[in-house]
Amino acid sequence: MEENHKKNGKGTLELLSLFNKSTGRIDTIDTEENELIVLKPGGKVVEFMGMVKGGKSKHIQLLCDNLKKDGELTDILGIPIEIEVFKPNSFVKILYEKDPHTRPLYNEAIIHLHGLVLNTLYLRPKGDVNINTREINLALMDRGPSDDLVWTNTLHDYKLLLSENVRDAQLSMARNLERFIDLVIGVNVPIHEAMKREGEREGSVMNLPFLQKLYRHYERLSKDAKELGQPSLLQNSYLDIDGTADTEANAAIIYKRVKGLYLPQEIEELRYSQQMIETQDI
């Protein structure tokens, strides 16, 4: 479904409005508050990836809500958690055509934008520049380098939209960015469910042949996660979520896993020991 974008009196798109979208920022500059967003020391980056119409945006919002009202997490961090959602790929999706002849550039631009956000989150502003900064504890990526691996492989598989050489080069770019990610969460639904949520409409992406190629890669990640504990394609810890399961139950699983990134190891070990004692007492 196409998003509604802010337009001026002449009916043209207001480009500045793209920089502060509530569904996800395209970079680390807050043009409304005139602030540079950076990751606080000890901060985490979590990437949501998965099938089209899988429910990533919904779970990102639920995660934000659950973390912000967690009193224990506030005590651990010393302040209420500061979270920002980033969706840099939307900049390319909104402004540029998915022309098969330029699709390699299109895909590479998305990877570069993911890299720009991830690199600048970790950079420290220059001391001799008078600039406002906002430090955050958690950056949530609505698609990122892990998802780039899937889409790059799919674009090669589907009508060879990417040549083998281009595919390998772009896979290398995405893999280099994986080092910035602390946790990957895959939210997936079968093809028929994705089409149903889209209203059975087919387009440049939401068409059955392409979705079949795309889903094959996501299905492999889920299978590896279940059988091996970790997908062979990814370098980072992966949490597999069935997008057709109960939303609140999924949200609780995601919330617990992300909160665990901030819990001191001794607290985690204490809780595990307590659970083992309680299990033995049953």
Instruction: Show pLDDT as tens, one digit a residue, over the chain (282 residues).
Output: 345 556 655 668 888 888 877 789 999 999 999 999 999 999 999 999 999 999 999 999 999 999 999 999 999 999 999 999 999 999 999 899 888 899 999 999 999 999 999 999 999 988 888 899 999 999 999 999 999 999 999 999 999 999 999 999 999 999 999 999 999 999 999 999 998 887 766 665 568 899 999 999 999 999 999 999 999 999 999 999 999 999 999 999 999 999 999 998 655 444 444 554 455 455
pLDDT, residue 269, reads 47
| Tokens coding 174 | 């995405």
> Strand, coil or helix: what is 49?
strand
H-type helices in the chain, by residue range? 56-68, 71-77, 89-95, 103-122, 145-157, 164-177, 191-198, 208-228, 247-259, 265-281
pTM of the model: 0.89
What pLDDT score was predicted for residue 128?
A: 85
Instruction: Please say whether the dihedral angle defined by the alpha carbons of residues 252, 253, 258 and 260, taken in this order, is positive or negative.
Output: positive
For helices 191-198 and 208-228, angle between their N-to-C axes, nearest 10 degrees: 130
Q: Can you give the pLDDT at residue 195?
A: 87
> What's the CA gap between 268 and 270, in Å, rounded?
5
How far is the CA of 85 from the CAs of 19, 48, 144, 256, 266, in angstroms? 12, 10, 12, 19, 29
Residue 10: the pLDDT is: 63
**Tokens (6 digits) for 83:** 């979270």
